[in-house]
Chains A and B, each alone.
Chain A
């Protein structure tokens, strides 16, 4: 039997859109003066074409590309996955082009879903990719609108090349309701802070942590990083203090540049900690939600191995911060906007075609001609090279992880999009291949011929009539591109 697994890689995805909290307070402070007290920094939010699944793919893609082998399992932890009955994890697995034999499943129902999954998966002998992602609905003027941010974070669990060993885990369950959300409700129903802090966090977290540390032969002074993924930084400090953890070892909860990412937040905070951790450090990772899950980790020498991972702190420095509250409402489809007749187009999906072409569309797999070597999308029976045209000579060729450059583009103010102008054009991929793509993450005047881009998994179209939406890849700026 293989040894218990640890974390071998990790990454995160944070949407580029960032709304300054002062802008929220300016828009709504006249109704809710209390939110002015939280009007610091900026919260990240998923744009209209981003959701739990697109952010998950963003968090996982580098991990999968760097892994020695495809994970045996893919688990999504989220409370806001878009489909209630259509496996969300399956969409992620398809977009990541994982093998059909991958065991896919989901954890949900609580803010601690990701750590519940982590604990379960750590007991499995099969490698696993665990991704957590949340895009919480937040009602206008609610404290959560100020505190929340959207994000995804992922860890790869395996038993070799471990960068953070899982020493011990412990859980407790309690049907303690500090907030809840039911099917169809437009946001969380949240009870008062003192109930959450005093009867929830300060009573339940120690009930898990103290025996965990005792079993591990550790004390609070051995903890280099204490992670408690709750929205309010002052509550984390209070819990840390009650446990006897040194204040300097209490991890920042990323309120300033991100906001609390729901079920994704424990692994998001962990990513931030692992970016800066040194070998041999102990990390106490806790998530609260109808009980508490706690995981004690110890970093290994491999924590300093080279990776193309961009540190989360760097990503958080590069948000597209603005102060237009209306953009958040539009991204959330909460504004009764007159989009004009072009928005009436019927986006019915032919599911038989979507299934047959799922690797093309969801995994961005095209073809490469074995006769002339031309990469092309979509893969076709006959090679697109006008000098070739050979029949049935193409092998699978994935474009999703390739860098590319803008060949032609326009900013289209006529086409319907929720973030005008719609920018699109012909994109040339490094190594060959051209795809006509929508672009995302750019504003007017930011695209030029030659602008470096790479594909990003995004919502392509929304079919409101049938409550469905479909995904594809759009050309997005990548680190190194100007203005990103």
Chain B
């Protein structure tokens, strides 16, 4: 608005002083209550605060019908919170980052001192592999295709190959490298769902699920929970911390229907990632992401997604991602390591928790607490969390760094 000061954004206005993440996987014997408490206890021990210090909470759950049920009170009940405000959020697979955004915005706005962001999903109680079938709304059910996530994301493959004149065989090799790398990374991660090394040949030879995606191009479907405790930087300092993680940016970009209904999108990239990334880099003060971003955790629900995201995030040039991937640029020893914890592919994908799990890895790496997979001093870490399908989705990007 004319004459009024422009928003400063949220850079460095919220600190993360504690995070927790359960082991992801087939947690047959655990309930959402168990998973939430497991993540929460780790985060509270990390933060060194009392439960009574939490002023508000945001709770991310996607498939509530297979999980906790609707509303905020499951979290309040599991943690026996003192009737503090709890907001249940859902934004497809970007639900975890959406929960974090709520907590960070509340702290940055000064509405509260300390907030909790929790995400939880219990996918393995559906009785079958993959994600449950769901309706799309009373009108959309009448005309939308009965797509599955792999089928919807697979469409990026043929469109990308056609746009950049790359043969499907060569594209598949780059996609296989992406999966191979995540299995290498996930192998050493005790909290990861899939801890098995694979060869590129095994990945290429896997049965086809949705052309051109084979079954090993798809991420794990897991149970898990992850959380963050967010507070004002002054409070972090008052707790005796000199050096702590702050949020440099969180940006969210949902589709407005243009990709699905307008001819301006060619099907070979995720439009919302590009708009969210531009805003996130501006908010974080990053002018050259390929130089400044030290590691990424991106939404590798399928190998082809990770590949196009490298371009959408400005890390690879247009049409360059396959070559950069095959050069090892995004391997753990490369210039910009991606999915050092195994990613959705191997750490797993309990939907409501995934965005927070990505930020958990950034947090560990920035604090030098990533153990065997610790990178050498990254300045900024970027998490990209995508909900929906390529032609209609929600992109969430968070950038973390240390306090200045």
Contact = CB atoms under 8 A, between A and B. Distances in A.
A438 B257 contact: no
B260 A415 contact: no
B256 A344 contact: no
Contacts of A344: 133
A353 B209 contact: no
12 contacts: A342-B130, A345-B134, A380-B257, A410-B152, A412-B210, A413-B208, A424-B145, A424-B151, A434-B261, A436-B260, A461-B141, A461-B146
A357 B210 CA distance: 31
Nearest to B138: A350
Interface in B335-377: none
Interface stretch (A278-286, A291-299, A425-433): A425-433
Nearest to B261: A384
B263 A415 contact: no
Interface string B376-392: 00000000000000110
A410 B158 contact: yes
Contacts of A444: 211
Interface in B128-146: 128, 130, 133-135, 138-139, 141-146
Given A407-B159, A412-B151, A347 B141 contact: yes
B79 interface: no
A156 interface: no
Contact of A384 (B148, B156, B262, B267): B262
Contacts of A385: 258, 262, 264
A410 B135 CA distance: 21
Q: How large, as a class, is the contact surface on chain A?
A: 35 or more
A435 B128 CA distance: 31
Given A386-B258, A409-B158, A414 B148 contact: yes
A324 B301 CA distance: 37
A377 interface: yes
Contacts of A354: 142
A414 B162 contact: no
A413 B267 contact: no
Interface residues of B, number: 44
Given A412-B147, A436-B391, 13 more contacts: A341-B128, A342-B133, A347-B141, A376-B261, A384-B257, A410-B152, A410-B154, A412-B150, A414-B148, A415-B210, A421-B210, A422-B147, A449-B158
B263 to A, nearest CB: 6
A436 B133 CA distance: 18
A425 B155 contact: yes
A442 interface: no
Nearest to B130: A414
B127 interface: yes
A341 B261 CA distance: 31
Interface of B, secondary structure class, is loop
B125 to A, nearest CB: 13
Contacts of A342: 128, 130, 133, 148
A386 B262 contact: yes
B201 to A, nearest CB: 21
Contacts of B152: 410
A472 B159 contact: no
Nearest to A471: B142
A460 B151 contact: no
A422 B146 CA distance: 8
Nearest to A364: B143
B151 A408 contact: no
| Most chain B CB inside 10 Å of its own CB: which residue of A378, A425, A460 | A425
Interface in B96-145: 127-128, 130, 133-135, 138-139, 141-145
Contacts of B391: 408, 426, 436
B155 A438 contact: no
Given A346-B135, A353-B138, A361-B142, A415 B261 contact: no
A449 B164 CA distance: 13
A380 B127 CA distance: 38
A411 interface: yes
Interface in B205-243: 208-211, 213
A357 B140 CA distance: 10
B127 A341 contact: yes
Interface in B239-282: 256-258, 260-267
A385 to B, nearest CB: 6
A377 B261 CA distance: 6
A449 B162 contact: yes
Interface string A312-348: 0000000000000000000000000000111011110
Interface string A166-195: 000000000000000000000000000000
B145 A437 contact: yes
Contacts of A425: 155
A142 interface: no
A345 B136 CA distance: 11
Contacts of A417: 146
A469 B151 CA distance: 24
Given A345-B135, A411-B210, A426-B391, A416 B263 contact: no
A410 B267 contact: no
Contact of B142 (A357, A421, A438): A357
A158 B138 CA distance: 41
A425 B157 CA distance: 12
B256 A386 contact: yes
B210 to A, nearest CB: 4
B151 A422 contact: yes
Contacts of A377: 261
Given A341-B127, A380-B257, A386 B264 contact: yes
Contacts of A360: 143
Contacts of A428: 263
Nearest to A377: B261
Interface in B65-81: none
Nearest to A386: B258
A412 B148 contact: yes
A36 interface: no
Contacts of B143: 360-361, 378, 460, 472
A4 interface: no
Interface string A116-136: 000000000000000000000
A302 B139 CA distance: 45
Contacts of A159: none
